[in-house]
A and B are shown apart, each in its own frame.
Chain A
Amino acid sequence: MEIIIKGGYVFDPINGVKGEKLDIGVKDGKIVDPSKLDERNAKVIDARGKTVMPGGVDIHSHIAGPKVNVGRLLRPEDHYISFIKAITGVKRSGTGKTTPTVASIGYRYARMGWTTVIEPATPPLKTRHTHEELNDIPILDKACFPLVDSNWFILDYISKGEIEKCAAFVAWLLDAIKGYALKLVDPGVAELWSQGKGYGLDLDDEIPSFGITPREIITGLCKVNRMLKLPHSIHVHCNRLGIPGNYSTTLETMRALEGMGDGITIHITHAQFNSYKGDNWPALRSGAPEIADYVNAHEHVSIDMGQVIFGGATTMTADAPFEFALFHMTPIRKWAGSEVEVESASGIVPFKYKKKSIVNAVQWCIGLELALLIKDPWRVIPTTDHPNGGPFTRYPRLISWLMSKKAREEVLEKINKTARRRSVLPDIDREYSLYEIAISTRAAPAKLLGLEDRKGQLGEGADADIAIYDLDPTKDLNDPDRIVKAFKYAYCTIKNGETVVMNGKIAKTSYGRTFYVKSSVLDEELMKGVVSEVKQKFKEWYTVQFSNYIIDESEIRHPEPLVMGG
């Protein structure tokens, strides 16, 4: 199938295209030179007066896995009103707002023009479930990050100082469960939670059962990450998340990884939840300026926002002690929690962010301050940490806040007055240009994920993932509502060379690939030794068999391994 997109304003930051009028050709799922295509055979999409961008890339969104499913079970009230109707042969049905059902996740992302989404936290033992759900998410390309921070094998190797063996284990683990990068959630806390402790574990507090600190886990896994040449840096949810005064812990975490090598060595995820100043909740203030200053001065850090959107949310994280504490703070009296043997833990609490609440209003300000004070859009990604800060369907609103001071002021007028006084947000005049939006929602996440040669760009040979928005960059950008409307319903989304969305409506259900990493950097002797060690300990530590733990390639609908090294 051949497609020619004619006359749109193209934004392609990786190739340096800043809103020039260009034609784009698509053939066999790849982008090609339009002049080589025959217009008579090709489907021509008229994009005059419209914006053409690469398909969106979401670096952090909890879309699949056991905890997402428990969230759905915990919140039947989330599913009463929202309802997507099935159309036979075109799309499947679905419900849910903050915890949407599997199929509707794919449709809603595609409708906004997003085509690649990452599930950022899956316990390795339960990754089979995650892949089953990922397989069933239509349209999107996806990948999942296994949780490694409290894995006994890794803690054991780090406490013994055997970084090479740890690297061999991680390489085996990523291949065995088809993971993409390393996710650290409040490093070490899940290990303590299995003993009923762990709330507020700081960077230099010792984890008694292994005699190491979270700092050692982070630096150790960063070394492992560099050693295996993984495409993405370590993906860290910092210690003491959601506790006032935690910005210092975040700064310490970033400082701990200075001088670990070239490029980005750490990705701080949902940084908003980690940028709190003040001694207690009523005295909460923004630590965003400090974090932003540090990020501006250092090249090795990237962050994503974790912006709070007012309205309903379902907080779900592997940071179980925090969720337990949050449960006691919220008026909604229900929660779910679990512990995964040897590996991880998780907790879920429904939550509602209110404009008049001082804490929620400060949180809202912090996220935007981070995005606006950090100068380099290549290192700050707009996310809502779906569904923790709000559902991903609110991205258009988030983009309008970034692009328009007027839109921010409209909300600032309605929020808690004390929070507004404490924030520096009213004094920030910066507005993202459409080009910067294209960087931060497309090119930058693709680059951070190491997928920039095929995602987040429109150069020849890249995957044909394209979003066309009904937005004229020469005249529509002054109206925030126009921006919201354009991003909410993409005029057209092309995924892998197929038109999946037309005029804001799903036109076709296709299924995307699942990326995972095969690292063959280390020598085989070492790998064999470590795997036989793991096999022995497996019998002691796990209730499952070693052979049942490994996920075969045939269990994934469209597997796409990225081979690293060797």
Chain B
Amino acid sequence: MTVTLIPKEPFKVLIDAKCITPDEFAGKSLEEINSLEVYEGSLVRKLGDLFVIKGDPEDNVDETRIVIEGDVWKVCRIGEKMSGGSILIKGSAGHYLGRWMQGGRIEVRGNVRSWLGAEMQDGTIEVFGNAGSFVGGRLRGKVGKKGMKKGYIIIHGSAGARVGHGMVKGTIIIDGNSGPFPGSEMMGGKILIRGDCEGKAGANMIGGSVIICGRLPSVLPGFYIDDIAPKAKVKKEKIEGPFYVFVGDALASRICGGRLYIHKASNPHLKVYEELLEEV
């Protein structure tokens, strides 16, 4: 059922460990798991060289459960392309956690670095600490509908810049604050930020909605005020408002399919927009 990985010693360089997924572990014996290839810097090592591996692996992907006891702050690409099962990390995790993930569940008790759930297709990621930049983001250089397709990311701490960059569908919830550019180049889906945002929300967005309950320093000039909504809804949860609703980004598309919900009570400096609303 459960496979437990315990780091043998603190990592010195970044580790490329895309093999730590339920899909790779399922149907393999402990010895086979021990001999999976990982990169430590530029050196090829075996997974067993870096971790003590215990437990009894399962044939079925969905019932495979991986528990990492300890800090894997420098281990990247855990859970890449996983299609089922679950991963529990009882510490912090590295870059590209759950990239291209297709299903299953990842839980992190500590913090994670950048590109959490990048371009994920489906599944659930829960982080109890903070996250780096590009949560659920589309990789550099890609254009069009290549971002997060579906799934659910919840971060109980704060997140860095460009949350949900280029996302197509799905939900990202951040209980803390967010860095600049949440929802940049977004095409659909929902981002909820319960804390403050550093600014420039929804830059170049053409669809989807970003809900900010805390303070936003200013709204980008590509957005028009549309309405004042009493409530916003994310995943059946109703969030009490009222919210200023902005549409945009006019710079990215004339249709202005994107929505920004900015909490009215936390943003008294945006009151000037109300005058524009009355004129209409």
Binding site for B on A (CB under 8 A): 74-78, 80, 86, 331-334
Please state if A77 and B141 are interface contacts (CB–CB under 8 Å). yes
Residues on the A chain within 8 Å of B144, using CB: 331-332
Please state if A78 and B143 are interface contacts (CB–CB under 8 Å). no
Residue of A nearest to B142 (CB): A77
Residues on the B chain within 8 Å of A334, using CB: 143
Residue of A nearest to B146 (CB): A77
- Given A76-B141, A78-B141; 15 other pairs, CB 8 A cutoff: A74-B141, A75-B141, A76-B139, A76-B140, A77-B139, A77-B140, A77-B141, A77-B142, A80-B139, A86-B42, A331-B144, A332-B143, A332-B144, A333-B143, A334-B143
Q: How far is the CA of A78 from the CA of B139 in the complex (A)?
A: 11
Q: How far is the CA of A164 from the CA of B91 in the complex (A)?
A: 76
Task: List CB contacts (< 8 Å) of B132-163 with chain A.
Answer: 139-144
Q: How far is the CA of A308 from the CA of B209 in the complex (A)?
A: 41
CB distance from A134 to the nearest CB of B (A): 26
Residues on the B chain within 8 Å of A331, using CB: 144
12 A-B contact pairs sorted by A residue (CB < 8 Å): A75-B141, A76-B139, A76-B141, A77-B139, A77-B141, A77-B142, A78-B141, A86-B42, A331-B144, A332-B143, A332-B144, A333-B143
Residues on the B chain within 8 Å of A332, using CB: 143-144
CB distance from B210 to the nearest CB of A (A): 22
Residues on the A chain within 8 Å of B42, using CB: 86
- What 6 pairs between A and B have smallest CB-CB spacing? A76-B141, A77-B141, A77-B142, A76-B140, A332-B143, A75-B141
Residues on the A chain within 8 Å of B143, using CB: 332-334
Q: How far is the CA of A331 from the CA of B140 in the complex (A)?
A: 17
Residues on the A chain within 8 Å of B140, using CB: 76-77
Residue of B nearest to A75 (CB): B141
Residues on the A chain within 8 Å of B142, using CB: 77
Binding site for A on B (CB under 8 A): 42, 139-144
Q: How far is the CA of A333 from the CA of B252 in the complex (A)?
A: 11
Residue of B nearest to A88 (CB): B42
Residue of B nearest to A80 (CB): B139
Residue of B nearest to A77 (CB): B141
Q: How far is the CA of A452 from the CA of B220 in the complex (A)?
A: 64
Residues on the B chain within 8 Å of A78, using CB: 141
CB distance from B39 to the nearest CB of A (A): 10
Q: How far is the CA of A202 from the CA of B140 in the complex (A)?
A: 39
CB distance from A207 to the nearest CB of B (A): 36
**Residue with the highest number of chain A CB atoms closer than 10 Å, among B139, B141, B143, B144:** B141
Q: How far is the CA of A81 from the CA of B139 in the complex (A)?
A: 12
Residues on the B chain within 8 Å of A74, using CB: 141
Residue of B nearest to A86 (CB): B42
CB distance from B189 to the nearest CB of A (A): 20
Q: How far is the CA of A62 from the CA of B243 in the complex (A)?
A: 54
Residue of A nearest to B140 (CB): A76
Residue of B nearest to A93 (CB): B42
Residues on the A chain within 8 Å of B139, using CB: 76-77, 80
CB distance from B68 to the nearest CB of A (A): 25
Q: How far is the CA of A86 from the CA of B44 in the complex (A)?
A: 11
CB distance from A87 to the nearest CB of B (A): 11
Residue of A nearest to B138 (CB): A77
CB distance from A354 to the nearest CB of B (A): 14
**Residue with the highest number of chain B CB atoms closer than 10 Å, among A74, A77, A86, A334:** A77
Residue of B nearest to A332 (CB): B143
CB distance from B153 to the nearest CB of A (A): 21
Q: How far is the CA of A76 from the CA of B142 in the complex (A)?
A: 8
Residues on the B chain within 8 Å of A75, using CB: 141
Q: How far is the CA of A377 from the CA of B42 in the complex (A)?
A: 47
CB distance from A15 to the nearest CB of B (A): 47
Residue of B nearest to A74 (CB): B141
Residues on the B chain within 8 Å of A80, using CB: 139
Residues on the B chain within 8 Å of A77, using CB: 139-142
CB distance from A31 to the nearest CB of B (A): 39
CB distance from B143 to the nearest CB of A (A): 5
Q: How far is the CA of A333 from the CA of B143 in the complex (A)?
A: 7
Q: How far is the CA of A80 from the CA of B142 in the complex (A)?
A: 10
Q: How far is the CA of A86 from the CA of B39 in the complex (A)?
A: 13
Q: How far is the CA of A397 from the CA of B139 in the complex (A)?
A: 30
Residue of A nearest to B39 (CB): A85
Q: How far is the CA of A334 from the CA of B143 in the complex (A)?
A: 9
CB distance from A83 to the nearest CB of B (A): 11
Q: How far is the CA of A331 from the CA of B146 in the complex (A)?
A: 14
Q: How far is the CA of A197 from the CA of B5 in the complex (A)?
A: 63
CB distance from A88 to the nearest CB of B (A): 9
CB distance from A387 to the nearest CB of B (A): 15
Q: How far is the CA of A75 from the CA of B140 in the complex (A)?
A: 9
Q: How far is the CA of A76 from the CA of B141 in the complex (A)?
A: 5
Residues on the A chain within 8 Å of B141, using CB: 74-78
Residue of B nearest to A76 (CB): B141
CB distance from A264 to the nearest CB of B (A): 41
Q: How far is the CA of A31 from the CA of B141 in the complex (A)?
A: 47
CB distance from B251 to the nearest CB of A (A): 13
Q: How far is the CA of A77 from the CA of B141 in the complex (A)?
A: 5
CB distance from A212 to the nearest CB of B (A): 41
CB distance from A426 to the nearest CB of B (A): 34
Residue of A nearest to B119 (CB): A80
CB distance from B43 to the nearest CB of A (A): 10
Residues on the B chain within 8 Å of A333, using CB: 143
Q: How far is the CA of A74 from the CA of B42 in the complex (A)?
A: 26
CB distance from A86 to the nearest CB of B (A): 8
CB distance from A163 to the nearest CB of B (A): 47
Q: How far is the CA of A332 from the CA of B141 in the complex (A)?
A: 11
CB distance from A500 to the nearest CB of B (A): 23
Q: How far is the CA of A145 from the CA of B141 in the complex (A)?
A: 30
Q: How far is the CA of A332 from the CA of B144 in the complex (A)?
A: 7
CB distance from B140 to the nearest CB of A (A): 5
CB distance from B168 to the nearest CB of A (A): 15
Q: How far is the CA of A84 from the CA of B138 in the complex (A)?
A: 24
Residue of B nearest to A73 (CB): B141
Residue of B nearest to A334 (CB): B143
Residue of A nearest to B252 (CB): A333
Q: How far is the CA of A518 from the CA of B144 in the complex (A)?
A: 49
Residue of B nearest to A78 (CB): B141
Q: How far is the CA of A331 from the CA of B144 in the complex (A)?
A: 8
Q: How far is the CA of A75 from the CA of B142 in the complex (A)?
A: 8
CB distance from B263 to the nearest CB of A (A): 33
Q: How far is the CA of A107 from the CA of B140 in the complex (A)?
A: 26
Q: How far is the CA of A86 from the CA of B42 in the complex (A)?
A: 9
Q: How far is the CA of A74 from the CA of B141 in the complex (A)?
A: 7
Residue of A nearest to B42 (CB): A86
CB distance from A85 to the nearest CB of B (A): 9
Residue of B nearest to A333 (CB): B143
Residues on the B chain within 8 Å of A76, using CB: 139-141
CB distance from A103 to the nearest CB of B (A): 15
Q: How far is the CA of A80 from the CA of B141 in the complex (A)?
A: 10
CB distance from A337 to the nearest CB of B (A): 17
CB distance from B81 to the nearest CB of A (A): 12
Q: How far is the CA of A76 from the CA of B143 in the complex (A)?
A: 11
CB distance from A522 to the nearest CB of B (A): 48
Q: How far is the CA of A75 from the CA of B143 in the complex (A)?
A: 10
Residue of B nearest to A85 (CB): B44
CB distance from A326 to the nearest CB of B (A): 15
Q: How far is the CA of A74 from the CA of B143 in the complex (A)?
A: 12
CB distance from B166 to the nearest CB of A (A): 12
Q: How far is the CA of A80 from the CA of B143 in the complex (A)?
A: 14
Residues on the B chain within 8 Å of A86, using CB: 42
Q: How far is the CA of A74 from the CA of B142 in the complex (A)?
A: 10
